[in-house]
Amino acid sequence: MRVVIQRVSEASVIIDNVIKGEIASGFMILLGIEPNDNESDIDWLTSKICGLRVFSDAEGLMNESIIDQNGEILLISQFTLFASTKKGNRPSFLNAAKPEIAIPLYENFVGALSQKLGKRVKTGEFGADMKVSIINDGPVTITIDSKNRE
């Protein structure tokens, strides 16, 4: 699993001209899933996200987690995170999990992240054409891959 985490002051996702999810301060996360991902990737990555200390403390240092800040999360499925551009100029998405594998893992990820965060994670819709808007705070943008734990 691979995520791109952006610290935001606000974020929203629109599907068919309707706001599907929106948050104030917190994380907007893009999630990509590979065919060999599993529950251990979910557990490790959701723990890492909730413990990530990228919010300012009273002294202005990035020393607090999203839980410390009582922040929100908007999670968007993003198969293009596993694009390969090795051949030519048209990306290949063969490294991304097919929907029959990705959807259950995505739903389990949302559930595990909501449980660890202590509140409902807002989402887009798997496979939908989504319009995502953010105000990146900082800017702070971090990528994490569950296959690169060491």
| Catalytic (active-site) positions | 80
Place of tokens 């798997």: 126
- Percent helix, strand, coil in the chain (nearest 5)? 25, 40, 40
Residues 125 and 74: beta-carbon distance below 8 Å: no
Residues 73 and 122: beta-carbon distance below 8 Å: yes
